[in-house]
Amino acid sequence: MKKRIQNKKNTRNIVLTFFALVYVLAVFAQQVERPNIIIIITDDQGYGDLGITGNPHIKTPNIDAFAKAGVRFNNFHVSPVCAPTRSSLMTGRYSLRTGIRDTYNGGAIMASTEVTIAELLKQADYRTGIFGKWHLGDSYPSRPNDQGFDESVIHLSGGMGQVGDFTTWFKGDSSYFDPVLWHNGKQEPYQGYCSDIFANEAMKFITENKNAPFFCYLSFNAPHTPLQVPEKYYNMYKGIDPAIGFDDGRPFVEMSEKNKEDARKVYAMVSNIDDNVGKLLDKLKELRIADNTLVIFMTDNGPQQMRYVAGMRGRKGSVYRGGTRVPFFLQYPKLIKGKRDIEPLTAHIDILPTLAEICKIKMPLDRKIDGRSLVPLLIGKNETWSERPFFSYWTRHYPEKYYNISLQKGNYKLVGHTNYNAKPEDFELFDVHKDPYEQQNIVAENVNIASSLMAEMETHYKELTTSKNLIDPPRIHIGTEHENPVFLNRNDAGGERGIWAQEEIYGKWAVQIDQGHYNIKFKFIEPLAEKGKMFLETGTTINQFENDRTGIDFLEMKNVSLASMTCDLVPFYVSDSKRIFPFWVEMERISD
């Protein structure tokens, strides 16, 4: 009898808890006024590159204070590298579904059919702006302004000073200073240091849109290489030893002198970001909109260089926690209670569903959204957050079966650095609750757990590698009114693996061309030393001409007639001793 009564009480408590949750969510939905939204994301800043995460050297008072006053997600994960993280953040989907499979080699172009946070929020009349790094396609129809952003001030490709960002590449060691950026798709010169420019442009956008809901995506390219920083910030760290001062028993990597110098520069770049974050938060208070502004601070993956990463194993590019676990702090004073920690595993794919629920906007129903809303965790209903698998991988070009690949579910994480035909016992298995530094491989005594996780990993792998946007990858559309001329840069070029700044390499662009007549310019990294012939292959059509000049780094084909076609565009210059791939190609449609 007592047992029956107790069971009834338990059932009643479960029912009451359920209806209480329904009530809280209903009240949440009714009371919320659509907030302004700011996402601040930094590039290659690891979990350990903040004071609040245990680094005694770095000075980040503004971000630390923001984290202490807000909600701290202590088990938040992203992809091991930048473009995949950014596509998942923007869409709520694993990156392979979006067409993103690499950071360059033509694999960092997101399909235009994807629905971004910006496009989602525009359904509710948000003004949208991006400032900094996009890295999801540099030509129509994959640019920020094609994907829902009203205002954009960005650099191209994966970073300033990289080959794809050709307006800063030739500046070399000063590429972060006084750059030519892309304002709403057009080149425009700016004065100052890049992080200051992006923050100032973001604050300008916020000020102009203070009376209406806005979405500001402040996407710093720092502290990504090249490690360039104003001298006053470097001077804050030039005398420190970044390898000492960690005596808490956590694993710590050995640092070379170059690692130490790189760390000093990274810390300086992060302190500059911290100052800009402080200015932005002060601007919200000055405009009296801080209370109804949801602000997120996060980073995109682990550190690129060897340095403190809070004892975790791995860094950028690794599926160990040092490569995927990042800081994630959130404030929304009007509705979300701060000064607390959230421990369940959460991820970049959860951001879009969370914003959709908070802003009362329906998510797209014609595709799979891999993430889930964080609202239950934000309102204190942790018990409703059930376990779900989180899949991670990183290899160039396409995923390599069972190499640098992982799946975590609950406390258990399966990591593969093995062969395509591996057995469960060939993997590493960690209990990340007991072993957060992933030092103890427990697969031998837990083969059944490894087998179960391997089966789920296989399901994810098969589904994601057969994604439509991976099989039929996004193409650059040439000849439209939306972008003319079109610049084809090396970041978006496929062909041989590892296309960077080489002259003699095979490259191409996947394109869709509208019928018309075009003027086509070819820019070379070095002036041409020999006479030769310029070729342009587009599908079954080849245009060519003889060049008898040397010492020039530009060639041009004028009034080239091209039919409407979907093809690979393959340009190359042939001389007696070389076959040279252009640095970039400009295609301007001049008539039908």
Q: How do the pLDDT tens digits run along the chain, 592 residues long?
A: 434 444 544 545 444 444 444 444 444 444 458 999 999 999 999 999 999 999 999 999 999 999 999 999 999 999 999 999 999 999 999 999 999 999 999 999 999 999 999 999 999 999 999 999 999 999 999 999 999 999 999 999 999 999 999 999 999 999 999 999 999 999 999 999 999 999 999 999 999 999 999 999 999 999 999 999 999 999 999 999 999 998 778 888 899 999 999 999 999 999 999 999 999 999 999 999 999 999 999 999 999 999 999 999 999 999 999 999 999 999 999 999 999 999 999 999 999 999 999 999 999 999 999 999 999 999 988 777 888 999 999 999 899 999 999 999 999 999 999 999 999 999 999 999 999 999 999 999 999 999 999 999 999 999 999 999 999 999 999 999 999 999 999 999 999 999 999 999 999 999 999 999 999 999 999 999 999 999 999 999 999 999 999 999 999 999 999 999 999 999 999 999 899 999 999 999 999 9
| Topology given in CATH for the domain delimited by 390-469 | Arylsulfatase, C-terminal domain (3.30.1120)
Architecture of the CATH domain 34-384:
3-Layer(aba) Sandwich (3.40)
Omega prior to 436 cis, within 30 of 0: no
**What is the enclosing helix (H) or strand (E) of 545?**
strand 541-547
Asked if 96 and 470 count as a contact pair (C-beta separation under 8 A), the reply is: yes
Q: Domain limits of the chain? A: 1-31, 34-384, 390-469, 476-591
**110 closest CA partner among 127, 128, 93, 124:** 93
> What pLDDT, on a 0 to 100 scale, did the predictor assign at position 5?
42
User: Taking the model in full, what pTM does it have?
Assistant: 0.93
Q: Count CB atoms within 10 A of the CB of residue 205.
A: 24
Instruction: Please name which of 323, 440, 435, 457 lies closest in space to residue 390, comparing C-alpha atoms.
Output: 457
Q: Hey, what long-range contacts does 361-367 have (CB within 8 A, 24 or more apart)?
A: 361/120, 361/121, 361/123, 361/124, 363/92, 363/120, 364/115, 364/120, 367/93, 367/97, 367/115
Residue 22 is predicted with a pLDDT of: 44
- The fold for domain 476-591 equals Jelly Rolls (2.60.120)
Contacting residues for 105 by C-beta, under 8 A, at least 6 apart: 396, 397, 493, 494, 497, 498, 499
| Structure tokens given for 514 | 């509208």
- The answer to whether residues 271 and 60 touch, using CB atoms and an 8 Å cutoff, is yes
pLDDT of res. 9? 46
Tell me if the bond preceding 226 is cis, omega within 30° of 0: yes
The CB density around residue 12, as the number of other CB atoms within 10 Å, is 10
Cα 10 to Cα 2, 7, 17, 298: the distances in Å are 12, 5, 10, 40
Q: How far is CA 283 from CA 71, 202, 291, in A?
A: 21, 11, 12
Q: E strands of 289-427, at which residues?
A: 293-299, 328-331, 340-342, 346-347, 390-393, 403-409, 412-417
pLDDT of 196: 98
Q: What is the largest CA-CA distance in the chain?
A: 101
Contact at 8 Å (CB) between 508 and 569? yes
- CA distances 367 to 113, 443, 571, Å, are 10, 35, 36
Let me know if 509 is exposed, middle or buried by CB neighbors in 10 A (0-12, 13-18, 19+): buried
**Chain centroid to CA 424:** 31
pLDDT in the model for residue 386: 86
- Helix H, strand E, coil C: the string for 127-166 is EEEEEECCCCCCCCCCCHHHCCCCEEEECCCCCCCCCCCH
**Whole-number Å distance between alpha carbons of 40 and 38:** 6
Please say whether the beta carbons of 571 and 536 come within 8 A. yes
Measured CA to CA, the distance from residue 262 to residue 246 in angstroms comes to 18
Least Cα distance to 92 among 430, 447, 369, 399 occurs for 369
